A and B are shown apart, each in its own frame.
Chain A
Amino acid sequence: MKNIFLATYLAIKEVVRNKGRFLLVALVIALITLLVLFIAALGEGLANGNRQYVANLDAQLVVFLEKSDYSISSSRLETNTVKSVRRVDGVADAGAIYTSSTEIVSLPESLKVSMLGAEPGRPGMPPIIDGREFRGGEAREAVIDRNVALRTDIQIGDTIQIRSTQGTEDEFFELKIVGLVEGPSYFFQPTIFVPAATWEKIRPQSESELTSDTPYPNIIAVKLTDPLQAEVMAAKLTEEVSNIEVADIETTINNIPGYSAQQGTVQTQGVFTLLIGILVIGGFFQIQILQKVPQIGVLKAIGSSNGVVGLSAVIQIIFVTALGVGIGGGLTYLFSLGFPPTIPLVFNGARSLIAIALLLAIGPFGGMVSIIYAVRIEPLKALRLG
């Protein structure tokens, strides 16, 4: 206990009497923190933008067309597949999902959105938070995600116009907004939901597709009676329903085009930034210890133990790292307030917490070499023999 008090005393005195030097390092750590937290937030934001709709599906399994490699855009199922899936024992409900992109043009600045066809009250249709669900059939009604409403000032009861390329011609369709859902973005775009038949009419399509009025779902979201039986049910569905393959939600997310590559890139950037942090902190404390060799020699010569010297260095490193991470966290928060909503930054994810924990750990890790060096300094250095 005496060693801890002595080490704390020495560490605090040195930091207080050399504020400028330690603050400089804390600021370098703060900048690294800023960078790491932004990368983590960007990773979270990009991941959300890509996966949010799929991740929040009220389902445990997703049915794809056989050999589509779990790619939503490549999958196109027969219309009767939904009924076949619903008939399988253990399936509580199943909802067909239709995906495409379009553009709202009735705004001062047009907005690209993901247009999803879904069935009200079935898996695939997010819960309504305001207004009502659209009617079935070919009703020209839509439910939009809250982010679209916030960004465009569109309100329930308004009519929007969308542009859709039909064959080689641009056509314009009007949709009445009847409800709002939470912000489930898909493929980096905010979403609007329409009935399946409407979707088939107004989605962008090629010349050859125009002859058909039958909507073919891309995927089917499957809600199970017992969610814990997902693996068994995936096998059962594959066996009982023809021409399909089944994936869980995680596999579906990982197979969204570009998702894994994008997350890998962001994580690699984060790891390299942390490595740079370790080198910066390690370098600073190593230089400091080299400058303090005679001083450490004197401390040991007059009777300070290795424990006191080593612990003092550890306390300083932890203090400076915590200060830097604290300043960096504050700066990150301030900067994030000024960023436009188009930049996908999400700070409330587990990623930010992991990043902060890692940042706090890199200090002692980076300073380890210098701590070992300090402990090994001979007290003879205080005399001319050293």
Chain B
Amino acid sequence: MSTIALEVRDLVKSFLLDGATINAVDHVSFQVKSGEFVALVGPSGSGKTTMLSILAALLTPTSGQVLIDGQDLAQMNEKQRVKLRREKIGFTFQSNNLIPFLSARENVEFMLRLNGRLDHASRIRSDELLARLGLSDRLHNLPAQMSGGQQQRVAIARALIHNPAVVLADEPTASLDTERAFQVVETFANLIHENERAGIIVTHDLRMCQYVDRVLQMQDGKLVRTYEDKKEIIELARGTIH
């Protein structure tokens, strides 16, 4: 039975802009279960990146609650947040994803080093994960020696290797061509499902939604619609629903 890995309760994030208070995230609530892959979509300025930053414990909310694996972010100090990011969250970013002076294998293993869990068995698991992502011949390559798609796949491996409760992806396909983008998101979705992690992908490219289980649509900081029906999600991805 799936457990709730991430829960957002009545979340608000306000910014002061020219003396006026703007709610970048406006009373948003949702849950994501383990093994569920969710897309957060919306136009520019809809608040999805702010939302992701709060879920990643990089921004503190103005009000409301975020619970990751049952732990309330609002109750944590900075040191505890760093620990939470290290242990419970996996990340892939839009660009500058990898540490440029570490090889593909070292980038993935770095998450294990950070968590003090690098041993022989975890090294083998890391290599297997990279092989699963089609990178077995790229283990010793530096990021600069890999394509954008390969870099994103290494980032996915890094995001999953330490078995985090939640995996967050910030526009992971933004710098990829269409074919590579589909490959990356499909692989991501498969791994989320297989490893029973909760995955959230922020994307402006609705075509990527065909691989997710649920779509949360944001506009002006509000969660305006949720797509749960697979048929509806496919139609959204094909552009027949706007």
- Report which A residues bind B (CB closer than 8 A): 2, 6, 9-10, 13-14, 16-18, 294-295, 297-305, 378-380, 382-385
A-B contact count (CB 8 A): 80
Can you name the residue of chain A whose Cβ is closest to the Cβ of B101?
A17
Q: A304–B158 Cα gap in the complex (Å)?
A: 14
Which B residues are in CB contact (< 8 Å) with A10? 99
A171 to chain B, nearest CB (A): 77
Q: Could you pull out 9 A-B pairs where Cβ atoms are within 8 angstroms?
A: A2-B116, A17-B142, A294-B95, A295-B100, A298-B99, A383-B52, A383-B53, A383-B170, A385-B49
In addition to A301-B56, A380-B53, A384-B170, 14 A-B residue pairs with Cβ atoms within 8 Å of each other are A2-B116, A6-B113, A13-B101, A16-B101, A294-B95, A297-B96, A302-B85, A302-B110, A303-B87, A304-B114, A378-B58, A382-B91, A383-B49, A385-B49
Interface residue range, chain B: 35 or more
Q: A382–B59 Cα gap in the complex (Å)?
A: 12
Interface centre among B52, B100, B101 (most CB of A within 10 A): B101
Query: 1/0 per position for B72-110, CB-CB distance to A under 8 A?
Result: 000000010011011101010111111111100010001
Which A residues are in CB contact (< 8 Å) with B99? 10, 295, 298-299
Q: A156–B20 Cα gap in the complex (Å)?
A: 98
- Report which B residues bind A (CB closer than 8 A): 49-50, 52-53, 56, 58-59, 79, 82-83, 85-87, 89, 91, 93-102, 106, 110-111, 113-116, 142, 158, 170-171
Which B residues are in CB contact (< 8 Å) with A14? 101
Which B residues are in CB contact (< 8 Å) with A379? 58, 85
Interface centre among B82, B102, B142 (most CB of A within 10 A): B82
B126 to chain A, nearest CB (A): 15
Contact of A294 among B58, B85, B96 (CB under 8 A): B96
Contact of A385 among B50, B98, B100, B116 (CB under 8 A): B50
Which A residues are in CB contact (< 8 Å) with B89? 303
Known A-B contacts A382-B96, A385-B53; A305 and B113 likewise in contact (beta carbons under 8 Å): no
Residue contact B102 to A380, C-beta cutoff 8 Å? no
Nearest 9 pairs between A and B by C-beta? A303-B86, A294-B96, A17-B101, A303-B85, A14-B101, A380-B58, A379-B58, A303-B114, A13-B101
